[in-house]
Structure 1
Amino acid sequence: MTKKVHTVQYDESLDDALEIITKHKVRHVPVLHGKQLVGIISKTDLNRLTFSGLFDGEADPDEAVLDMLTIRQVMSHKPRVVKDTTSIKEVALTLSKEEFHALPVVSSKDESKLVGIVTTTDVIKYMLAELT
C-alpha cells in the first residue's frame, strides 16, 4: 500500500489531475470532496479523452477536450475501497475478480478517512518478496 496518496478535489480541472499523474508518475488518483472520498480517476480515463484530430483548426485538440469536461464527469464514482485491515489475499482477489488496478484504502476506525491506495503493482511486489 502506498500511504502518501496524491489526491484531487472533485471540482478541480482535468488538467490538475493530469499534472498529478504526470508529475508523480502515478496511474490512479483518488477524488475527494473535502476529505470525503467520492471517486477515482485514472491515467486510462484521461487517455480515453484525448482524440487527436477531432477538432479541425484546434492547435491542441487534447487540451480542448480536457477543458470541456470536469473531473466529476470523468471519474469513477463511489469506488470500491478496502480497509487498512484487509488481507493481501482479499485485496488480490478483489483486484483480479473485479478487474481493478487500484483500490483506495480507508481506515478501519473511520471509513471516511483515506489512508492509502493499493495497486496491482503493490500486490505483485509483495508476492515477489514472499517468494524470495
Structure 2
Amino acid sequence: MKTNPIRVARAMFVQDCMTSNPITITLDTPIFQALDIMTRRKVRHLPVFQGSRLVGLVTERGLLQVSPSPATTLSMHELNYVLAKVTVKEALVKDPVWVPPQMPIEEAAQVMRQKKIGSLLVMEDGKLVGIVSQTDIVEALVRLFGLHRAGTRLVIDTEDRVGVLADITQFFKERGINIISVVTMRRDEKRFHLVFRVSIADAGALVAEIEGLGFKVVSVS
C-alpha cells in the first residue's frame, strides 16, 4: 500500500543563517573609517583584530558614542584631526559573546536576549568563521515557521496528554492537508496551545470538525 511521505522540517542552526567570513577591521582603524565601512556594507557590528588575534568587537552605537558631538565647537580642521586620531580601540567590546556554528538558532536567540546584544560572533576551533545578527535570526525563524509560504494559521487549545499531537496531525493527514509548521505554547501545567500553519487558503470549514474531536480552536488567520 502506498503511503504519503512524512514531511519533516529541517532544524536550523547558526551556520545556516550567519554571515560567513565577515568584514573585519584592525585595532588601529580610525572611527570614521569603521563607520564608513558599516554604512557601505550595511552592517552594525565589526569584529576587531590585532594581527591574527581577535581582540573584540565594535558596534555602530558604540562608535557613535565616542565620536565628537555634532554640537562640537571644534573647527572643521580640528574635527578632521580628531576623527583621524581616534581609533576603534576607544569603543572596543572586549571578550564579545560567541557561539559555535552548530548551535540551534532558537538557542542563539535566547543568548542574545539574555545578554541584551544585537549580534554573536561564530567561532570554530578558535577561529572566527562568521557573525550572526538579530536580523539574521528573525529571517531564519520566518523560514523555519514557514511564514514565507502561503497558508493558514490555526491555534488549537488542548490538554497536555500523551498522543494529542499525533491525534491532530492524523486529522490533517486523513484530509490530505500538509502541515507547514507546528509550534507548542504552554498555557499552564495542564493545557497548551498548538499553533499549526497548514497549506490551505481557508481552514474555517475545518473548525467544526476539529472541535468535534474535543479540541477548541482559539483562532484562524
Question: Residue type matched to 2:69 in 1?
Answer: F
CA drift of 1:66 comes to 2.9
- The aligned counterpart of 1:85 is 102
Pair 1:54–1:83, CA change in 2 (3 A): same
Larger Rg, first or second structure (1 or 2): 2
The Cα shift of 1:55 comes to 2.3
Give aligned-pair identity as a percent.
30
1:121 matched residue in structure 2 = 135
- 2:23 alignment partner, SS class: coil
Match of 1:25 in 2: 42
Q: TM-score, normalised by structure 1?
A: 0.86
Distance in 2 between the 1:61 and 1:101 partners? 33
Aligned residue for 1:95, secondary structure, equals helix
Query: Secondary structure at the residue paired with 2:20?
Result: coil
1:51 aligns to 2:69 (yes or no): yes
In the alignment, residue 32 of structure 1 is paired with which amino acid? F
* Paired amino acid for 2:73: F
Q: Is the 8 A contact 2:48 2:58 kept in 1?
A: yes
Instruction: Spell out, residue by residue over 1:69-95, the C-alpha distance to the aligned partner (whole angstroms, 9 max, x if none).
Output: 221121111111111122212211110
Partner of 1:40: 57
Gaps of 5+ in 2: 1-17, 147-221
2:159 maps to what in 1? Answer: none
Distance 2:53 2:36 in 1: 21
Provide, for residues 42-87 of structure 1, a one-character-per-residue CA deviation record: whole Å limited to 9, x for no partner.
111122224112224x127764553342211211111111111222
Aligned pairs, number: 128
Long gaps (5+) in structure 1: none
Alignment map for 1:8-19 (pairs within 5 Å): 8-19=25-36
- The Cα offsets for residues 25-57 of structure 1, whole Å up to 9 and x where unpaired, read as 11100001122211111111122224112224x
Q: Which has the higher strand share?
A: 2
Determine which structure has greater relative contact order: mean sequence separation of CA pairs < 8 Å that are 6+ residues apart, divided by chain length. Answer: 1
- Which residue pairs with 2:183 in the alignment? none
Q: Considering only aligned residues, what root-mean-square deviation do their CA atoms show, in Å?
A: 1.9
Measure the CA separation in 2 of the matches of 1:44 and 1:62: 20
Q: Distance in 2 between matches of 1:8 and 1:127?
A: 30
Aligned to 1:74: 91
C-alpha contact (below 8 Å) 1:52/1:62 kept by paired residues: no
Paired residue type of 1:46: L
Q: Which amino acid aligns with 1:99?
A: K
Equivalents in 1 of 2:25, 2:143: separation in Å?
32
